[in-house]
Amino acid sequence: MTAERPVQAVILAGGQGTRLRPLTHARAKPVVPLLNRPFLAHQLALLRAHGIADVILACSYRVDDVRRALGDAEHLGVSLRYVVEEEPLGTGGGVRNAADLAAGTIFVLNGDILTDVDLSAMVRFHEAHGARATIFITRVADPRQYGLVELDADGRVRRFREKPPADEPLTTDTVNAGAYLLDAALLGRIPAGRVVSIEREFFPELIADGIPCFGWPAPAYWRDIGSPAAYREAQLDLLEGRARMLLPPPGALRDGSWFGDGAVAAADARIVAPTALGERVHVAARARVGPGAVVGPESRIGPGAVVEGAVLWERVEVGEDALLQGCVVGADVRIGARARVGPDVVLESGAVIPERTTLGGRAS
C-alpha cells in the first residue's frame, strides 16, 4: 500500500511565549515579526514549498493577534483554519483538538521553529521506514532545554525524554526539533478535553506500545526562536545566508539590502548590507543602518544614528547620534539622542529611553 502524499499540517501556536517577554506582551509569539513578516508566514512558506497547503492552527492564547496578522493566509498560498482551545490544552491537547479536521499523514509543527528542512525528504523517510510517527531531530549544545530523542541503530525511537532535570545524566545530544509526521489515526489516542503533553505523554506511550516511531536526523538549519537572543539571531542567520530564505522581507532588493515601499535614506546615510528596511522607513543624514539590521515599517532613524545587528519593530524613533547594537526594540519605542543600547537588550513596545542613556553597557 502506498500512502497518500501528506497535504495537511497542524501548527501548535497556543503557547504564551513566556521566554520572549517582554516582546510577547505586545504580540503573540507566532506572529512576532521576523524580517518584517509575521513569524508564522515563514513556516507557511516552508509548508507551501513542499505542497502542504491545508494548514490548521491550534491556538489558545491571543488568537485575535494571530488572525489579524495572517487571516486565512490566502495571500501566502495556503488555506489556514483556526481551532481554538478555550483553556490551553498543552501540545498534545492542541493537536487533538485539530483531529476532526485532519486525515491521512499530517505534519505537526511547533509554531516557534525556524527551519529550512526538506519536508519532502522527511515524507520519503517516513514511507521508506514504514513509520507511523517520524520526529525531525537535531543536535544542540544544550539538550536539557529540549526533548531528548534516543534512537536504536535502525533509527527507531527508543526513548523520548522531555527536558530532563539537571541531576539526570544526559543520554544523548539529539533532540526533538518540533516537527513531526504523524498518521492522523494516532490522534485518537490523545484524550480529549484535558491538558496533554505530546512530548511527555503521547510519544512515550507510542514507544511503549511498540508503534513504529522513527527519528529523522536532517542536515538543515534549525532554531527555536522562543528567546529574545534566538529571535534576533534567527534574523541574522537569514540575512547572512546561514538559513535559506524562503520568504524574503517585503520590498525590493538593492545592493544586498531590502527596501520596503516608500523607504528612504538621505544621500549621505549608509545602508550596509545585509539589511532590511520596512515600508516607509526613513533614515536621516549621516546615519548608518546595518550590517545585520531589520527596521520595522515607519521607523525613523535620526541623523548620525547607528543601528547594527539589531531588530526594530514598527514605528521606532531613533534620536540623533544614538547607537543601537545587537538589541531588540519593540514597536513605538522612542530612543533619545545620543542614547546607547547594547547587545542583548530588549526594549518593550512603547518604551521611552531618555537622551544619553546607556543600556547594556557593551555598545561601543
Query: Any idea which residues carry the catalytic annotation?
Result: 163
Q: Is 110 a residue that touches ligand GDD (CB under 6 A)?
A: yes
- State the minimum distance, in angstroms, from the CB of residue 313 to ligand GDD: 20
143-172 residues near ligand GDD, rule: CB under 6 A: 146-147, 162
Q: Is 45 a residue that touches ligand GDD (CB under 6 A)?
A: no
Give CA separation, 220 vs 117, 148, 189, in Å.
5, 18, 31
- State the minimum distance, in angstroms, from the CB of residue 106 to ligand GDD: 15
Q: Is 175 a residue that touches ligand GDD (CB under 6 A)?
A: yes
Residues 6+ apart with CB under 8 A from 52: 6, 7, 8, 9, 78, 107, 119
Residues at the contact surface with Mg ion, assessed by CB under 5 A = 112, 224, 226
Q: Which stretch binds ligand GDD (CB under 6 A): 88-96, 150-158, 207-215, 245-253?
A: 88-96
Q: Which of 178, 228, 274, 296 binds ligand GDD (CB under 6 A)?
A: 178
Q: Which of 6, 33, 38, 111 binds ligand GDD (CB under 6 A)?
A: 111
Size of the site for ligand GDD (CB under 6 A): 27
Q: Is 112 a residue that touches ligand GDD (CB under 6 A)?
A: yes
Q: Which stretch binds ligand GDD (CB under 6 A): 54-62, 181-189, 231-239, 248-256?
A: 54-62
Q: Is 65 a residue that touches ligand GDD (CB under 6 A)?
A: no
- Which residue, 90 or 226, has its beta carbon nearer to Mg ion? 226
CA 326 to chain centre: 19
User: Could you identify the residue written with the cell 550596509?
Assistant: 272
DSSP 272: P
Q: Residue 258: what are its φ and ψ, rounded to 5°?
A: -100, 130
Give CA separation, 227 vs 5, 12, 61, 190, 233, in Å.
34, 17, 18, 29, 10
- State the minimum distance, in angstroms, from the CB of residue 20 to Mg ion: 9
CB 246 within 8 A of CB 39: no
Q: What is the DSSP string of 181-212?
A: EEEGGGGGGSPTTS---IIIIIHHHHHHTT--
